[in-house]
Structure 1
Amino acid sequence: MTSSKPRRSPGEGGVYEYRLRNGEKRYYWKATIQVGNERKPVVRRGFTSRPEAAKDMRAAMKQSDDGLFADPGKVTVGEWLDAWLAGLRLSPTRDTYEQMIRVTLKPHVGDVKLAKLTTARVNALYRKLEERGSARGGPLAVRSVRLAAAVLSMALKAAVEAEPPLISRNPAARATPPRLRDELASTVLAWSSEQLDSFLTWAAEHDQEHVALWYVAATTGMRRGELLALDWRDVKGDVISVYRNARPGPGGKPVIGPTKTRKSRTVDLDDETVAVLRAWRVRRGGLHLGLVRESAPVFGDENGQRLTPKSASTAFDRAVARCRAALGEEAFQRISLHGLRHTMVSIWLTAGVPVKVVAERTGHTVATMLSTYAHVIPGSQATAANQVAALRRHSAGAGDEPTVEGTALRLARGKMPGQGA
């Protein structure tokens, strides 16, 4: 006796119910359809209703009939990120996305099959980045994790909307990247003014190859890329013109472009920083006159090549490690080169410089300043330039201990460590 229930023809497929561990219902479809040059079974899961699953199955089968169905089971996250990026217009934003994909996303989830990327896996990625996502193996800044999350979510959304779709839903849509307000609580951002004094004084004696870079980074609050993009023509008297940024390019070589905000600004210098830069230029000129021509980088190697962002950060990490070994690990905690920027912002705000002035000086927005730093006390940009030296003189105190002011004066007189009188 035969059943009266109609039988599906081969390849028609069907929709089926299953349950998650928490008991919630989900649906999947399964059908044998044409994928490229062969017919093969295809399964898609995660639908919240039977009609939704059936609609997706019909769309996939139509794509198969038209010869357009792509097997999502063979596409990796890394392959799709590359394909998505290739479709974006050339711009500084695209460059930022490319770096985030290459440095942060692909090393962690690039080999994962796109169809198998789940919300739980995405959340695990965010937690891993928070703990040890930086190039040096330490925590990745909350803002950087959030940028990675935004890039991943946009790319996955595009995979859902692709023709034909590669995935049925965006697994990053319900993931939980860290909140901005968690940043200060989760990451050590800065040294105190006394700790900064100790490091710069030590560097003047033991890291003469980079002390000028550390000094200018600390006293101006400029970003790493802005410092490395400086040429001597950008330094005029007691003012630095900031209008370019050096970002990592192919092979790690610096690529020069506009600042992060695409806005230029000027930064006033205190007398000691002016003295440091003048002494640094004299020293560079002593190696080769070509190193101090107007178009030469301020912070370059002995061959006149601009320092790469990675090499600058690595040099700073090594200097901090050597300084802690010399002064004692309890002297101060490890921070990144970017931490010098946070250090000076904290010092300025504590010293009474208005938040708007600090924002203008550092290229931040006022909203970013207010969301990141708690202390806002009135002052002026002139105070910001001169308070650097004043704070250090105060923190050094009396006695025979070397001070950063003394270091700057030695540099101004051209008596760099190791050069003699």
Structure 2
Amino acid sequence: MTEWSYTVKIWAIRKRDYRKPYQLRWKVGTRPHSESFLTLGLADSRRAQLITAAREGEPFDVDSGLPKSMVVKERDITWYEHARGYIEMKWDDSPGNTRRTLAEAMATVTPTFVKDTRGMPDTRAARRALYSWAFNKNRWDEETPTDVAKILDWFERKSLPMSALSDRLVVRGALAALSKKLDGKTAAPGTISRKRAILYNALEYAVDAELLDDNPLGRIKWKPPEQVTEELDPACAPNPMQAAKLLTAVREQSMRGRRLVAFFGCMYYAAARPAEVIGLRLKDCDLPRHGWGLLRLHETRPRSGTAWTDSGEAHEKKGLKHRPRKAVRRVPIPPELVALLRWHLTAYGTATDGRVFQTLRGGLIQDTGYGEVWAEARSRALTPAEFESVLAKRPYDLRHAAVSTWLSSGVEPQLVAERAGHSVAVLFRVYAKFLKNGDEAANAKISARLGHHG
């Protein structure tokens, strides 16, 4: 942290028998400083600068001996340089998906922090170059393709100095950019929130580096665009009969489908996220011959992509979403899922590391693979009208179906949230319409308790 002082003493220029004979001496606080010049004119000019700054009440940097205005000017790097420094600072301690999110946010706002738009690259090409190369530290040592290098060179030349970001209107332009998708439509609420948080953090890092006096985002009154609610559309969640038909269609379509029916069953009967099912191990399962069983979920294998991980593998090993690394979520599972898992383990065994689900070659289940199986199952199990609708459009909708089934069965919301790995607040916000559908049943229970009849 820079130490500033208002105590400045500047002496007269003295001449010595050296290559640069004219020496200017001054003291900031108790720290002496000196600078030598070839000519008396140059020495006088620098002395006048220091005297003017001192008379105008500027603080001086004790280490460099320079007034604040000169220190800031020397430190004034570009936004592009600062953004890459921010990515480098965050990189090592961030998992792959977080790295992708950081890069996406920086790639979104960087085109707004430019001096002018003359010669600006195509929007999509610019976003791709910034996202995949400028803000992906894993690629900084690779040879950059010629077309990408040309784009990044433009941003290096055109990027605003950090001092320009003290102007609130400049930063407001970045807020407008992160509120939109590339096609001009309004971005999702969660996307806007994440990108704004990253921009705020990058500007805080600039304050820490003394590139800015304060964070301009804190001085801007701004509301994100009007958003659609986060409530889940009940039309996307299949009912038990539809879910059963879909799982049957998965099993009957191919050998790959038979290997995945229990995988999808974990999403439907246990409300497990796909990344949680990918990481499920045999030791995490209690599968009795009769009655209910139990899954202990504590590991996820999210797919970040090979470009964003240190290992070069597409998946990473992490704890549960929004939970401490060693947290375990216990989910009781009905006999239907117990039977599916027992059959699966008998037919296919486990991977070498104990994982329940594996590809034919023993690898991790890929979203592209199970996505193709699911798309085929929808075409087989649903009516033409259902197929064209949002019903079970994504495998993840099986998780929504599980939660909605629990809620409609009268399970207490707090217990549903615990089993699904949600906070109660998120449950009420996302599944509000499912909760509303239970009003009639709730009213009947209250009436019965109060002794109403008829």
- Bucket of the pairwise TM-score, normalised by the shorter protein: 0.5 to 0.7
The answer to whether the Cα contact below 8 Å between 1:246 and 1:257 also exists between their aligned partners in 2 is yes
Task: Please tell me whether residue 196 in structure 1 is matched to residue 243 in structure 2.
Answer: yes
Task: Please tell me whether residue 236 in structure 1 is matched to residue 286 in structure 2.
Answer: yes
Task: Please tell me whether residue 257 in structure 1 is matched to residue 262 in structure 2.
Answer: no
Q: Is the partner of 1:182 in helix, strand or coil?
A: coil
Task: Please tell me whether residue 72 in structure 1 is matched to residue 83 in structure 2.
Answer: no
Q: Is the partner of 1:302 in helix, strand or coil?
A: coil
Question: In the alignment, which residue of structure 1 is the partner of 2:172?
Answer: 119
Distance 1:171 1:367, change over 3 A: closer
Question: In the alignment, which residue of structure 2 is the partner of 1:414?
Answer: none
- Give the partner amino acid of 1:246: R
Distance 1:298 1:371, change over 3 A: same
Question: In the alignment, which residue of structure 2 is the partner of 1:163?
Answer: 210
Alignment partners' CA distance in 2, 1:258 and 1:180: 31
Question: In the alignment, which residue of structure 2 is the partner of 1:82?
Answer: 87
Q: Quote the offset at 1:241 in angstroms.
A: 1.0
Q: Quote the offset at 1:336 in angstroms.
A: 3.2
Q: Quote the offset at 1:188 in angstroms.
A: 7.2
% of aligned pairs identical? 22
What is the aligned-residue RMSD (CA, Å)?
Answer: 4.0
Q: Give CA deviations for 1:281-337 in whole Å, capped at 9, x if unaligned.
A: 12213xxxxx356x3211221232223xxx22x234323432344445521426333
Question: In the alignment, which residue of structure 1 is the partner of 2:49?
Answer: none
Superposed counterparts of 1:350-389, under 5 Å:
350-374=408-432, 375-376=434-435
- Give the partner amino acid of 1:338: Y
Distance 1:173 1:318, change over 3 A: farther
Alignment partners' CA distance in 1, 2:189 and 2:418: 23
The answer to whether the Cα contact below 8 Å between 1:160 and 1:169 also exists between their aligned partners in 2 is no
- Give the partner amino acid of 1:271: P
The answer to whether the Cα contact below 8 Å between 1:265 and 1:363 also exists between their aligned partners in 2 is yes
Q: Quote the offset at 1:161 in angstroms.
A: 4.6
- Give the partner amino acid of 2:197: A
What stretches of structure 2 of length at least 5 have no aligned partner?
1-55, 114-158, 288-292, 440-454
Q: Is the partner of 1:267 in helix, strand or coil?
A: strand
The answer to whether the Cα contact below 8 Å between 1:281 and 1:292 also exists between their aligned partners in 2 is no
Q: Is the partner of 2:76 in helix, strand or coil?
A: coil
Superposed counterparts of 1:118-197, under 5 Å:
118-128=171-181, 142-165=189-212, 169-170=216-217, 174-177=221-224, 182-184=229-231, 190-197=237-244
The answer to whether the Cα contact below 8 Å between 2:179 and 2:187 also exists between their aligned partners in 1 is no
TM-score by length of 2: 0.56
Q: Quote the offset at 1:152 in angstroms.
A: 2.8
Q: Give CA deviations for 1:123-174 in whole Å, capped at 9, x if unaligned.
A: 3332318988xxxxxx976435433332232223333453122997239954
Q: Quote the offset at 1:270 in angstroms.
A: 0.8
Question: In the alignment, which residue of structure 1 is the partner of 2:372?
Answer: 318
Task: Please tell me whether residue 340 in structure 1 is matched to residue 398 in structure 2.
Answer: yes
Q: Quote the offset at 1:191 in angstroms.
A: 3.5
What stretches of structure 1 of length at least 5 have no aligned partner?
1-53, 133-138, 286-290, 379-421
- Give the partner amino acid of 1:231: R
Alignment partners' CA distance in 1, 2:57 and 2:405: 60
The counterpart of 1:276, out of the listed 320, 325, 340, is 340
Distance 1:67 1:122, change over 3 A: closer
Question: In the alignment, which residue of structure 1 is the partner of 2:15?
Answer: none
Q: Quote the offset at 1:277 in angstroms.
A: 0.6
Question: In the alignment, which residue of structure 2 is the partner of 1:105?
Answer: 105
TM-score by length of 1: 0.60
- Give the partner amino acid of 2:198: V
- Give the partner amino acid of 2:216: R
Q: Quote the offset at 1:252 in angstroms.
A: 5.1
Distance 1:122 1:269, change over 3 A: same
User: Does 121-130 or 273-282 show the bigger shift?
Assistant: 121-130
- Give the partner amino acid of 2:401: T
How many residue pairs align between the two structures?
303
